[in-house]
Amino acid sequence: MGILLPIPVHIQVPQILEPVGLSKELVNEYFTGTPSRIDGIDINTLEVETLLCHGLAYPNRIVESNNLGVGGHYAFRQRGEKHLLTS
């Protein structure tokens, strides 16, 4: 699927890109005047796929720590650091 940037309707610019993989209804609604010879997904499918990718990238769980090493001598300890005289 190609990438197009929405341009305000009042600005007339030549259409040098052609969307591939987008439905004709979506192209007519959001990219008025842009030629499209190959049909594809509609706005609802685009929404579902976008939300799916967003959900995978930003899960709804809180990540407190991970399995990565500290990577140095100094590190923040969430519950403090234990010392010799600490009970």
**32-65 pLDDT tens trace:** 888 888 889 999 999 999 999 998 888 887 666 6
Amino acid at 59: P
Report how far residue 84's alpha carbon sits from residue 60's, in angstroms, rounded to the nearest whole number.
Answer: 39
Residue 71: inside a domain:
no
Which residue(s) pair with 22 in the sheet?
41
Report yes or no on 1 lying in a domain: no
- pLDDT class of 2 with cuts at 50, 70, 90: low
Residue 10 lies in a domain: no
- Per-residue model confidence (pLDDT) at position 57: 85
Q: Per the domain annotation, does 78 fall within a domain? A: no
Phi/psi of residue 46, each to 5°?
-60, -40
pLDDT band at residue 81, thresholds of 50, 70 and 90?
A: confident
In a domain, 40, yes or no: yes
In a domain, 18, yes or no: no
Q: Judge whether 82 lies within some domain.
A: no
Q: Is 47 helix (H, G, I), strand (E, B) or coil?
A: helix
Is residue 39 classed exposed, middle or buried when 0-12, 13-18 and 19+ CB atoms within 10 A define those classes? middle
Q: Which domain holds residue 30?
A: 24-57
Domain tally for the chain?
1
Residue 79 has pLDDT above 60, yes or no: yes
